[in-house]
Amino acid sequence: MLVKTRGLVTKAVNFGEGDKILTLLTEKYGKIQAMAKGARRTRSKLVAGTQLFCYCDFVLFKGKTWYYIDQAEIINTFHKIRNDLVTLSCCTYLMELAGEVVQPGQAPGRLLKVVLEALNLFAAGEIGPEILLRAAELKILAYAGFKPQLEHCVNCGGASRAGYFSPGSGGILCPACEKSDPYGYSISQGAISVMKLMMGWRLKKLDCLRVEQHILKELEKIMRAYVAIHIDKDFSSMRFLNSVKNKVTGRLE
């Protein structure tokens, strides 16, 4: 049976002599895996449209266990992402995260739109990569049902000024409830405000947001713990991003 859907290549793994196995985030069918037969052969019509980050109109043949890619008509390749190693690592991580939180058979809806918007903005290069990464990460998590609670204490619902974030409880804790999670982190009011802005604003609006480096570091630490607990996956792309950042310290201002 042939089916058509728009989709984004979130992972591409070489297979056999000249094939690829792709993970696609599709508009109609959510996350699927698809075999691209012969896609690594230079004369294949599938060479261009089966690269990581390609957004295509796909025609797929639905087999018993696999989808097979019949056609891939490119809408966008976001090729400028590949010009910069930090940008490339950030986008690879977002692909992994999005691929992890969307389930097979679940249409990704706004989550796919926010991922595409993030790729467009990373390719344009006008917003600092770390600001864009944190904001896109928060939005992906929110659309997947993992929105951190920042308005009031996640434990008692109290509205007193919180300065503690509990990744395990999923949000901020008031001073009276801090002891309920010894594994949480102090969080500044500045970091809470930035997180709220990142979740509330459209990504493209972030070009006018200036965030101090110490707040970005605070957010990185908190979000790493938050993702580790709620998504429970070791992201190889995040490890790679950190190694890249260590080599280009100062780039992510």
> Which CB sits closer to Zn ion, 133 or 222?
222
Contacts of 96 (CB under 8 A, 6+ apart): 10, 11, 233, 235, 236, 237, 238
Catalog residues that contact Zn ion under the rule CB under 5 A: 153, 155-156, 158, 174, 177
User: Closest approach of Cβ 138 to Zn ion, in Å?
Assistant: 22
> Which CB sits closer to Zn ion, 128 or 148?
148
> Which CB sits closer to Zn ion, 149 or 237?
149
> Which CB sits closer to Zn ion, 177 or 241?
177
Helices (H) and strands (E) in the chain, counts: 6, 8
User: Closest approach of Cβ 215 to Zn ion, in Å?
Assistant: 24
**32-70 residues labelled b (16+ CB within 10 A) or e (exposed):** bebbbebbbeeebebbebbbbbbbbebebeeeeeebebb
Contact present, 89 and 237 (Cβ < 8 Å)? yes
User: Closest approach of Cβ 194 to Zn ion, in Å?
Assistant: 22
User: Closest approach of Cβ 158 to Zn ion, in Å?
Assistant: 4
